[in-house]
Amino acid sequence: MGTVLRMLEWHARAVNGWDYDTWYGGRFLNEWADRRAVAQLRDAFGHFDEEDSWRVLLATMELFHWLARETANHLGYDYPEILDTNVSELITKLHSEA
């Protein structure tokens, strides 16, 4: 979750200015983070069974991908689409084989 939290903070600052207050350690996240991300976070936590773990992984990846793309765009960076696609395809393949 630490990497997703960092991306949430970067996204909020990229959109609202780098001095935008994101509090500390995710505190009051639903006040400063993008509402779409807050809604998707509900799907990023799960139980400890195999299928729910896959569901959570895929939901977290989806959240991270669009946050990272928008953040890169706001900051003027290229998003590594090929790497993103390769990793996503590998995870999808592993999931289908599980």
pLDDT in tens, 19-56: 999 998 888 999 999 999 998 887 787 777 888 889 99
pLDDT of residue 50: 87
pLDDT of residue 1: 62
pTM of the complete model:
0.74
CB 95 within 8 A of CB 58: yes
DSSP string, 47-70: -SSHHHHHHHHHHHHHHHHHHHHH
Domains, the chain, ranges and CATH?
2-97 (1.20.120)
Work out the angle between the directed axes of helices 50-75 and 2-16 (0-180°, nearest 10). Answer: 30
